[in-house]
Amino acid sequence: MSKQQEIEAAAFRKLLVHLDANKDVQNIDLMILAGFCRNCLAKWYSSAASELGEEVDYEQAREIVYGMPFSQWKEKYQKPATAEQIAAFEAKKKQ
């Protein structure tokens, strides 16, 4: 692994730790502000694994990103989206 890859991997791990420490930030908030969320990271992880000849399906990738099975995270931490969040998300999609 190159030094750049090591740095990128370390940065990704720090991002996951940061997201884990901020469970109050909902995926819809991330989508509104940044255009990606934890689920996007899981899709990118699964895709990158596939490109490197490894099989990590979406659910496995979500468990890596969320630090637990998604169903458990959703039950413990995901709140229903508010009308304001939905409106902001819809407006963001139209941009």
For residue 54, with 0-12 CB atoms within 10 Å meaning exposed, 13-18 middle and 19 or more buried, which class applies?
A: exposed
**pLDDT tens digits, residue range 2-51?**
999 999 999 999 999 999 999 999 999 999 999 999 999 999 999 999 99
What pTM was estimated for this model as a whole? Answer: 0.91
